[in-house]
Amino acid sequence: MLQVEALEKSFDGFMAVNGATLKVERGDVVAVIGPNGAGKTTLFNLITGQLPPTAGAIWFKKENIAGLAPHRVCRKGISRSYQVVNIFNRLTLFENVQVAVLSRRRKTFDLFRPAKTIAVDETRRILDSVGLLDKWAMTSGALSHGDQKVLEIAIALGNRPELLILDEPTAGMSPEETAVTLRLMKRLSGELGLTILFCEHDMGMVFSIATQIMVMQQGRTIIQGPPDEVRNNQQVRDAYLGG
């Protein structure tokens, strides 16, 4: 589904991504791990079009999407969430997801119809699928941090992605919130058949859900493979997992 080849991103000569490779098959749950500054977020920004690459290719469903604008990448079927929560704080949960659904349908609000009657079924279904339906009328800024991160996933689902990219989905979460998010990701992958690419520092979480792990260091891919292969790789143990 996704193949990243020899990808590079230079910031004034500093190579934040320096020849990274990545392969994501349909149905995979792929974790990208590596120390702070390894280039994980930059890699995601390159895939989703937030940044143009300096060199390399990003094949998504056999098309090179490197350098496409974010909204075009989104229309191709890739949605993402951010490390720092990115929602409309003053809108309700319902409205936040509704905006995403409408933008996918390329529709704006109809002046003659009450906003709460538009795209209702799909918006409700998405909120239900992430476990936030009972809070649909709340102002999003009043949610707990954990619920805000889950709402961001719901907004991403409004675009009906084939590939969902999550940048540190459990960052700043309590152990309980982390467990809820882990269950949600397992459900999105299992029941909805979504392909997921995420980066994460919580190794317990990574090894309990990932079908593939890619290890990044200094902008490069050290290894990509199934969890057991990565766990037993001496280079990874020395550099990252602590011997």
For ligand ADP (CB under 6 A), the number of binding residues is 11
- Tell me the sheet residues that pair with 105: none
Q: How many residues does the chain have?
A: 243
Q: Note whether 226 and 207 are within 8 A (CB).
A: no
- Among the listed ranges 37-45, 129-137, 184-192, 222-230, the one in contact with ligand ADP (CB under 6 A) is 37-45
Q: How far apart are CA 16 and CA 218, in angstroms?
A: 7
Q: Which of 25, 26, 37, 190 binds ligand ADP (CB under 6 A)?
A: 37
Q: How far apart are CA 43 and CA 167, in angstroms?
A: 10
What CA dihedral angle connects 184, 222, 233 and 200, to 10 degrees? -20
Give 202's contacts (C-beta < 8 A, 6+ positions apart).
Answer: 170, 178
Q: Which of 2, 24, 29, 42 binds ligand ADP (CB under 6 A)?
A: 42
Nearer to ligand ADP, 14 or 112 (CB): 14
Other Cβ atoms closer than 10 A to 82:
20
Q: Which of 18, 41, 48, 159 binds ligand ADP (CB under 6 A)?
A: 41
- Between strands 63-64 and 78-81, the pairing is unpaired
The CB-side HSE value for 93 (13 A sphere, CA atoms) comes to: 26
Minimum distance between the CB of residue 91 and ligand ADP, rounded to whole angstroms?
A: 28
Q: Which of 16, 78, 101, 180 binds ligand ADP (CB under 6 A)?
A: 16
Query: In Å, what is the CA distance from 223 to each residue of 47, 72, 76, 196, 217?
Result: 19, 30, 28, 18, 10
53 binds ligand ADP per the rule CB under 6 A: no
The DSSP output letter for 139 is: B
- Among the listed ranges 11-19, 120-128, 136-144, 207-215, the one in contact with ligand ADP (CB under 6 A) is 11-19
40 binds ligand ADP per the rule CB under 6 A: yes
Minimum distance between the CB of residue 44 and ligand ADP, rounded to whole angstroms?
A: 8
Minimum distance between the CB of residue 9 and ligand ADP, rounded to whole angstroms?
A: 8
- Among the listed ranges 31-39, 85-93, 102-110, 233-241, the one in contact with ligand ADP (CB under 6 A) is 31-39
Minimum distance between the CB of residue 72 and ligand ADP, rounded to whole angstroms?
A: 21
Binding region for ligand ADP (CB under 6 A): 11, 14, 16, 34, 36-42
